[in-house]
Each structure stands twice: as C-alpha cells, then as structure tokens.
Structure 1
Amino acid sequence: MTQLRIGLLGTGPWAVATHAPALAAHPSVTFSGVWGRRPEAAAELAAAHSTTAYDDVDALFAASDAIAFALPPDIQAPLAVRAAAAGCHLLLDKPVATTADGARAVADAAEKAAVASVVFCTLRFASGPVEWIERQAAAGDWFTASAQWLGALFSPGSDSPFAASPWRKEKGGLWDVGPHALSVLLPLLGDVTRVTAAPGPADTVHLVLRHTSGASSTATLGLSAPPAAAGMRVELRGEQGVVTMPEWDGAREPFAAAVDALLESVRTGQPHPCDARFGQRLTEILAEAEAALESGV
C-alpha cells in the first residue's frame, strides 16, 4: 500500500491547526475526509483541504484505511472502538480516554481487529525530544527525574483557542498535559508502581511517582499558571549527572512523524511503543492520580 487513506474526526482548533494540514500535505497519505459534530465546520475544513465532508461517520470509516482523531477523549474512545471494528487503523489523541475502562476498550478493540494504533504524545514524535529520550533510555540507571508542564491556558487574558474546551475546563492540567509528562517518564524510568497526588493552585497538580526501575519522579502539571511562569521542563539526575530535555517548536512536524509511525506499523505489523495499549496505561495512571486527589491520600 503506497497511499494510506486517512480520515479525520474533529473540527476544533487542534484539527484546524495541526491534523488537517499535516494529513493534506503528507506525501504517503490520501486525506479521505472529515467528520465533525458540527457539520458546517466539517464542510469548511474539508473544503480548505480539498477533501470530502461526511455527515455519517461510518461512511467515512468505509472510505478510509485509518482514522485520525482530534476529539475530546471520552468522545474519541467509543468512536475509536467503532473505527477499529470497521477495520481502520487508529491515530489517537491523548489521553485516549479519561476512564481506565474507556481506554481499555480502545486497546482491546484495536487488538481484536488487528489494526495498528499510535497515540499522538507530542514529545515522543518531536525530533529533538525523541532523540534525547532514546539516548537517556539507553544510558539508564537514573536516580530521579522531575517534569514540569505549566500552561497559561486559563490565566486571565488568555486568548488561546483551547481555553474554551469544555473537557479541559473540567479535567484540567492533570489530564491535558499529564499524558505528555508520563510519555517521557515511563520509557526512561519504567512503569509506575505507586502514585501520590496533591493539589496546587487552581488546576495545578503535583505527582510523586515510583517506577519499576526503583527511581522516583515528580511531575507538576497545570493550565492556570501566570504567563511569566508558564513552560515545560524535564530533568534527569543520576550517575551521569544532570540532563535536561531539549525544547521543540510546533506540533505539525511531530504529528507528521506520528503519521509516519502509523504507516510503519501498518507496513510491518509491529506495534509502536506509543500504541493504544500504552495509551491505556497512561489513562490508568492518571485515573489513579485523580482518585488520590479526590480521596486526599
């Protein structure tokens, strides 16, 4: 298969700025169409990229070999199950779902249908960070790590188009940027064996994690920081000293790399490290952290 037909579900700012342009420009992809919960937005986005707007999501599944998702997680999950059952490979957004059962259903559906899956955790596809992660994972023997991801999405005066997102308002930084932090910490330190969580200002959450390697890590996550305090940083400490993950710029190039990863998984039949089962594990850890916050433990 030289061209993979990929359809897009979603018409929000993420789909407009990243998914649709990257799919339309990818040399090995035929952008097979757009479906959205707002038909007029789907028609506008499809027209902008010379593809077809679909009112019937199942018709888009039938016209596609794979589906890319730019939808809220708990709308994404059941539609991903349907797409997999229709034989479509899955290019999922993070988090896959905000319940362990929802994320497990997606991973199980992909496995049952024998379709490839990739979860678009940006840092695992951005060229600078992904090369850094590979080097540090190979070095191993890290003592501890810290991750900070503080956005200013909900700060006064924010003009971000994502600030109007209902699911982000409800779930906060834990669920929006938490998957990014975990997607880096797990390949470096191993799976999480223990989660402690404490609330900070506004939607800020502090996590303390224990990993299978014996290392510990902390993560500070939020979307309500003052603009001057916003930023992202991952730091490792061990026998090799102190190393910091490099910055990256933009999401369109990493998304194109995620498309490449899906194409490779389809071609080889080999699961990608950021597949739906990995997405399930991220959701399980975040759900455990959420439960710890609610219980005060």
Structure 2
Amino acid sequence: MLTFGLFGTGVWATEVHAAALAGHPRTRLAGVWGRDPAKTAALAERYGVPAYSDADALIEDVQAVSVALPPDVQADLAVRAATAGRHLLLDKPLALSLPDADRVVSAAAQSGIASVVFFTNRFHPAIATFLASAAVTGGWHGARGVHYASIFQPGNPYGGSAWRREHGALWDVGPHALSLVLPVLGPVTQVAAMAGPRNSVHLTLAHGEAATSTLSLALDAPPASTAVEYAFHGEDGIGVVPDRDVTPVDALRLAIEQLCTEVDSGTRDQQCDVRFGRQVVAVLAAAETARGQGRTVTLPS
C-alpha cells in the first residue's frame, strides 16, 4: 500500500486526483495540502484525512505525492518531493520552462524515485492500444491534430485558471497533442509556430527526416467549432486515433497502477515519466520561441 499526499484543492484535485487515490486498492490517501486553507480543510474533511498547512510536512509523512496544481507550482514541489525520496504522480505540463523541467528530472534521477506524468490520453485503453499498434506498424509520413476547446464559457470549471489564461492552448492542450504524436513519430527536431484567431496556435513539427506533424490548438474556440481529432497518414493509409473510452478518474487509476507497479518492481518506464514530460516541455518552449520570433527552431539532438 503506497501512501500519498495530495497537493491541490481545485476541481481537478477534488474530482479526479482525490477520487482516484481514495478508490484505488493499492494506495492510501494520507493528507491534503493546498494554497487555500479553507478549501484544504473542506477537501480533507470530505475524505477523512488530515489537512496540512506545511507542504514539506506532508511530503515527510508520505511515500508519494500526487500534484494537481499550476505547472510552475508543481515543478518546485516535485523537486522538493523527489529530493526527499518521494515518488511522483504529476500533471501535464511538467513545468512552464525547460530549466524547471530539468530540475525535476535531475532530482528524480538522483534519488531514483518512480514518476508518472498524467498525460490523460495515454491512460485511456483504446488510445493506448492504438498508439502501441501504430508505433509497431511504422511507415507513417506524419500526423495532423486539431484540439479546439472552449473553456472560457460561463460555468466551465477551468475558465478561471490564471495560468491557462496567461499561457494559453500551447501549454494546456499542447501536451495532450504531443503525447499522441511523439510515441508514434518520434522526437521533434524542428518546430515552426504561428498564432491564429482567438489566441489559437498552429504548429508544424519535423520528426527527424522521416515525418512531419501539424497541430492546431485552441482554448477559446467558438463553442460550435470545438473538436478533438487526431489522425496519422502513411504507407498503409489513414489511422484515426480513437476517442477517450474511460472517465478521467479511471484513467488516473491506471496511471496510479503504473506508478505502484514501478515502485514494487524497481523498474522505471520512460513512456510517461518526468523524462518524457521534459521532452514535451522542450517542444512547447521551442514552439513559444518560434511563434514569438517568427522563425523555425531546431531542437538539440
């Protein structure tokens, strides 16, 4: 039984992280820390666990941390937890800058802890099965993806998120898109980016010399034009990525299961760990530079 501390008190923390941890047979939720004392107390009471006012005290009392906080806050907590030898269950993106992502990776490597970054798509069984098959099949010339969300409508629980408003679709839904194309097409070597209407962003990515992908991302799309569509094209035709097939809570339980298995076995899977999270941040940072400077950015090999 792996004991977890939960960091965060927002909708994603309360309705997904807490529920997944409390309902998992291999975990025990041992406490909650948040930046809002009232919300922390309410969430802790809901699950019958202590509310912590000191983040480091909660880190000290558990074996693993589950973080549902803005990426810049997450990165610092992840470094502190990993340095203390605590396993990491984190959200995407890993951080909002490459130096912060590097700090997390370094701390995890030095302590040898297990880590999983919850790229939601990767823990939906239908999508995971498709990606594994597509990677084995090979022969893909590229991919195209559209992820148009509309979170700033009245009543949307994520519309008030300050970091999403500041950093936009590139950093919020961009990780979802990259988590699909990277496992099949491989690492990104060049990035071009252009801003579009309603703060959308449009990326063209080179995956070595063998493939390219195009991604169109938005958080403020007109409600009538919201869409999530991804497909690969290649020698054998078109491969359409299937829809998500489980709830976010069930998907997170699968991520938790992976983390628990790695802790028990001593293995370290790179598919969705902090190293993969850092790879995604590197592409996002390059895209931000490409968009801002109007040029193609080459990533280090």
For Structure 1 versus Structure 2, the TM-score category normalised by the shorter chain is over 0.9
Q: Is the 8 A contact 1:151 1:231 kept in 2?
A: yes
Aligned residue runs from structure 1 range 1-297, under 5 A: 3-154=1-152, 157-212=153-208, 214-248=210-244, 249-272=246-269, 273-297=271-295
Distance 1:5 1:39 in 2: 22
Cα deviation code 1:114-135 (max 9, x no counterpart): 1001100001111111111111
Q: Is the 8 A contact 1:152 1:158 kept in 2?
A: no
Report the CA distance between 1:250 and its aligned residue.
Answer: 2.9
Distance 1:27 1:51 in 2: 17
Cα deviation code 1:125-164 (max 9, x no counterpart): 111111111111111110111111110112xx43211000
| SS of aligned partner of 2:159 | helix
TM-score (norm 1): 0.97
Are the structure 2 counterparts of residues 250 and 158 from structure 1 closer, same or farther at C-alpha, using a change threshold of 3 Å? farther
Cα deviation code 1:149-195 (max 9, x no counterpart): 110112xx432110000000000000001001001100000000000
| SS of aligned partner of 1:106 | helix
Q: For structure 2, which runs of at least 5 residues remain unmatched after alignment?
A: 296-301
| SS of aligned partner of 1:162 | coil
Q: For structure 1, which runs of at least 5 residues remain unmatched after alignment?
A: none
In the comparison of the two structures, how many residue pairs are matched? 293
Distance 2:84 2:58 in 1: 10
Distance 1:43 1:6 in 2: 17
Report the residue type matching 2:224 in the other structure.
Answer: A
Report the CA distance between 1:213 and its aligned residue.
Answer: 6.1
Distance 1:267 1:166 in 2: 37
Q: Is the 8 A contact 1:8 1:34 kept in 2?
A: yes
Q: Is the 8 A contact 1:7 1:34 kept in 2?
A: yes
Q: Which moved more, 1:211-220 or 1:183-192?
A: 211-220
| SS of aligned partner of 2:242 | coil
Distance 2:87 2:156 in 1: 31
Distance 1:114 1:63 in 2: 19
| SS of aligned partner of 2:197 | coil
Report the CA distance between 1:268 and its aligned residue.
Answer: 1.9
| SS of aligned partner of 2:158 | helix
Report the residue type matching 1:181 in the other structure.
Answer: A
TM-score (norm 2): 0.95
Q: Is the 8 A contact 1:189 1:213 kept in 2?
A: no
Distance 2:78 2:145 in 1: 30
Distance 1:109 1:39 in 2: 28
Q: Percent identity?
A: 44
Report the CA distance between 1:269 and its aligned residue.
Answer: 2.1
Distance 1:203 1:73 in 2: 20
